[in-house]
Chains A and B, each alone.
Chain A
Amino acid sequence: MASPNGTGGAEITYLEAIREALFEEMARDANVFCLGEDIGAFGGAFKVTEGLLARFGEARVIDTPISEIAIVGAAAGAAHMGMRPVVEMQFIDFIANAYDMLTNYVATARYRAFLPCPMVVRGPSGGYVRGGPFHSQNPEAGFVHTPGLKVVYPATAADAKGLMKAAIRDDDPVLFFEHKYLYRREKGVMPAGDHVVPIGKARLAREGTDLSIITYAATVHKALDAAAQLEAEDGLSVEVLDLRSLAPLDDEAIVATVKKTNRVLVVHEDTRTGGIAGEITARISETCFEWLDAPVLRVTAHDVPLPYAPALEDFVLPQTADLVRAARRLAAY
């Protein structure tokens, strides 16, 4: 279990990094509390909140009814009064139940009523885990489309911790997507001290000069695998930009990598139509058209609900081989 004051140099998982951030922020600020389904005694479906109940008690680690509307709405009400709630969606797929509360109420509170709404909605997201249609989704695009919400989706353990701390301290609502494939596979050593990663800043995951892959979450690792393969087999120097924050997007970092390599592949695990890759492509087209040596290409999931069988899921979701194929086409353009 994570200690409340950081793990001091030992490598921990992406999941433990999130838990460590929750421990540290709840210890730092009495206004921070957690609520969600099965997060107390059971420690959450994935055990992200394990140990919180024993440390902070039932008043601050609240097991709720199965009521996503009420959980999100109650968090908003408490946030108006100065609390800093952290809501768990047991699976992020269920955030659809709270879509109205998040987009109509939470996102507009500051604008229409000057009401602060500092709250975090977090939950296990994404596929590659044989979760089927309702335990594998990436519903970030709809929320990125909603003014008033911030959206982050870390790819590394250190960013998971640092962005969670930033999200809890942010004065506006933040949706915090956690990739469940990375929960226990991705590990890292936490930077010393009070590790906060600013929202809205991308991370250059790998430097390169021939082409750029812009992505986030689990596909950052597929991009890094593809980059290594392309360097070994094709002698290509591939840059990988990990967005980390989807709202706001780091336009400066996107423009910088476009101007550096002039060839861009945008990758995400979410489905294609209406996905964030379209938005990024449009921004590049509007601001960097004359810097491009090739059309911006996308690698995304197919536009289908995510199926369960490995043969089907693997076909629907973007794989490293897809990224390699697309990058080669881009390099040859």
Chain B
Amino acid sequence: MSPSAALTREQRLELYYWMRLTRTLEERLVALYRQTKVVGGLFRSLGQEADAVGACYALERRDVMSPLIRNLGAMLVKGATPVEVLKQYMAKGDSPTRGRELNIHFGDVGDPATTRGFVGQISPLGDMVPVMAGVTLSFRMRGEDRVGLVFIGDGATSTGAFHEGINFAAVQRCPLVVVVENNGYAYSTPTSKQTLARQFVDKAIGYGIPGEQADGNDVLAVYDVTKRAVDRARAGGGTQLVELMTYRRKGHAEHDNQSYVPAGEIERWAAGNDPLDRYFFRLTGELGFARAEIDAVDARVRAEVDAATDQAEASGFPEPLDCLTGIYADPPAERPLWYREGVLSAVEKNERADGWGTYQTGNAAKVESTIAAGND
């Protein structure tokens, strides 16, 4: 029996909820981007929602997941909230990273009792594979019943970090599931220019680990293949590779016009292989859900995204001086450079040359006149 056969009715509907929430939230972000309220780039996972949601749904709360830029759905499943995501994109002062990092680059990881178990990614691709090797190495060293899952794209499999990380994890028998999300493109580069391997799952052979491939646009198939890999890793089977076949229907980011994509390709995937459409027909067909049940989920998602948007819009931007805190545990903050501190205020605080420049005590008048001259 496949793992998905054991899912309850509520769980099956929940999978739809997470995918719909992903898509609706991203659509809301597009609207905010066009209003210039999203101050940086915007990254879509349109057409890939089943990968992120189905794979992450195979994890327990205590497990740790490391997403990439097109895994918003996985973060939502792991407990990230729409309001957190909106505040991140809008660079709000009370966003999860207090305005320090972009988009879905945020995490919540540590003690399983108090954290949701997802790691903040960084932009250099492949780096999260070694990091997750270390996270899961700590599980093994401490005998903790926890598994890690790291997403990586087809493009990032070409990095040295991917190779070193998966090889290290394999040798150390780390309980890590590496999910290669093959969406056809890395920015503008098709997979045919990334690798001569026939399929990414073949790379598992080279690392001496189990590998499985699935239809990434079938959320139940994604759940099944990932759940089997997670179960093997949890049972002591070491590192696992999963390849999910999907398609990136939007550009690398919102600015990308996808001029490099052959005519008709995007339309073909949109019309014939949309993961939400496919799951909708599955739910209302063989799985016996009523149309009204699905509509209710859609309405709930719209209401949640509306409420989260209102909440995020109401938040303020960060205080500039906050940028100087938390580079180290000790010291807890850096000092502003003297010309930002304000020379007059530095004089008022009776600072000496050691702190900000060459003027000596008694030269305050000279400083003030210099500033006055500069202000003319």
Count: A-B pairs, CB below 8 Å: 156
Q: Does B202 contact A (CB under 8 A)?
A: no
Residues of A within 8 A of B334 (CB): 147
- A80 to B329, Cβ gap below 8 A? no
A332 at the B interface (CB under 8 A): no
- List the A side residues contacting B124 at CB < 8 Å: 100, 104-105
A65 & B105 in contact (Cβ 8 Å cutoff): no
- In the assembled complex, the Cα of A113 lies from the Cα of B326 at a distance in Å of 10
Query: Are the C-beta atoms of B137 and A73 separated by less than 8 Å?
Result: no
Name the CB-closest residue of B to A79: B134
Q: What is the distance, in angstroms, from B92's C-beta to the closest C-beta of chain A?
A: 15
Interface residue stretch chosen among A42-50, A224-232, A282-290: A282-290
A73–B129 CB distance below 8 A: yes
In residues 82-113 of chain A, which contact B (Cβ within 8 Å)? 82-83, 85, 100-101, 104-105, 108, 110-113
Chain A interface residue count, CB cutoff 8 Å, equals: 50
Q: Are B134 and A75 in contact (CB under 8 A)?
A: yes
CB distance from B114 to the nearest CB of A (A): 13
The answer, among A33, A68, A112, A115, for a CB contact under 8 Å with B141, is: A33
In the bound complex, CA of A287 to CA of B351 (Å): 12
B311 part of interface (Cβ distance < 8 Å)? no
Q: With A65-B164, A65-B168, A150-B328 given, is the CB distance from A115 to B109 under 8 Å?
A: yes
**Interchain CA distance A12-B341 in the complex, whole Å:** 48
Which of A72, A80, A147, A287 contacts B353 (CB under 8 A)? A287
Query: Is B68 in contact with chain A by the CB < 8 A criterion?
Result: no
Q: For the complex formed, measure the closest distance between the CB of A144 and the CB atoms of chain B, giving whole angstroms.
A: 14
Which of chain A's residues 27-83 have a Cβ closer than 8 Å to chain B?
Answer: 33, 59-60, 62, 64-65, 67-83
B12 to chain A, nearest CB (A): 33
Cβ of B358 < 8 Å from any Cβ of A? yes
Q: Mark B322-359, 1 if CB is under 8 A from A, else 0.
A: 00001111110010000000000000000001110110
Of all chain B residues, the one with the shortest Cβ separation from A110 is B326
Measured between beta carbons, the chain A residues less than 8 angstroms from B119 are 80, 113, 115
Give residues 121-160 of A contacting B (CB, 8 Å). 147-148, 150
A333 adjacent to chain B (CB < 8 Å):
no
Cβ of A95 to closest chain B Cβ, rounded Å: 14
CB closest residue in chain B, given A106: B131
| Contacting pair B327 A148 (CB below 8 A) | yes
| A83–B144 alpha-carbon span in the complex (Å) | 13
Residues in A neighbouring B165, C-beta threshold 8 A: 67, 69-70, 73-74
Additional pairs, 7, CB under 8 Å, beyond known A72-B130, A112-B120, A286-B357: A60-B141, A64-B168, A78-B138, A78-B141, A113-B120, A170-B329, A287-B353
Give 23 pairs: A residue, B residue, CB < 8 Å, sorted on A.
Answer: A59-B141, A67-B167, A70-B165, A70-B167, A73-B134, A73-B165, A76-B134, A78-B138, A80-B131, A82-B110, A104-B124, A108-B122, A110-B328, A113-B106, A114-B97, A148-B327, A170-B330, A171-B329, A248-B331, A286-B357, A286-B358, A287-B357, A287-B358
Which A-B residue pairs are the 3 nearest by beta carbons? A73-B130, A77-B134, A74-B134
**Interface positions of B (Cβ within 8 A of A):** 97, 100-101, 105-107, 109-110, 119-120, 122-124, 127, 129-139, 141, 160-161, 164-165, 167-169, 171-172, 326-331, 334, 353-355, 357-358, 360
